Amino acid sequence: MDKDKEIELLKAEKKKLQEAVGAWKRKAKDRNPNLSFVTQGHAERGGLYYHYIVYAIEQIPADLEMKFVLEEAKQIVKELDGFEYSAVRYSSHQEAWLLEVQKPMDVYMGG
């Protein structure tokens, strides 16, 4: 295959992917994400104590570029009163993106 044809095919594929992401983003904006509770707990991180919660977000596609996953996570965290972003990762076991949020606590667990 010559370079010009290869470039044209890659451009067409890029456009197709951009359209798919755009369609997904429009669809996601039309509804609130359904957060499924996975787990919660208490942890010490860097000398501070936190209450953390992990939610599964099933409607975000597994193969979505991380940049777009993080944009969606940022919007979700804004709606969780008092919690801040901690981490996001994909779980093949849960077949969902896992969003971990945390809230500082005034509970000292040291001896």
Rg (CA), the chain: 19
d(C-alpha 74, C-alpha 30), whole Å? 16
Q: Which domain holds residue 49?
A: 33-111
| One domain, residues 10 and 38 | no
| One domain, residues 8 and 38 | no
Bridge partners, 53 (sequence order): 40, 101
| One domain, residues 87 and 55 | yes
70 contact partners, CB below 8 Å, separation of at least 6 = 88
d(C-alpha 21, C-alpha 84), whole Å? 26
Contact between residue 84 and residue 46 where contact means Cβ atoms under 8 Å apart: no
pTM exceeds 0.85: no
| One domain, residues 27 and 37 | no
Contact between residue 38 and residue 101 where contact means Cβ atoms under 8 Å apart: no
Based on the structure, what is the number of domains in the chain? 2
Each of the 111 residues of the chain gets a pLDDT tens digit; together they read 688 888 888 888 887 777 777 766 666 665 555 678 899 999 988 888 999 999 999 888 999 999 999 999 999 999 888 999 999 999 999 999 999 999 998 877 765
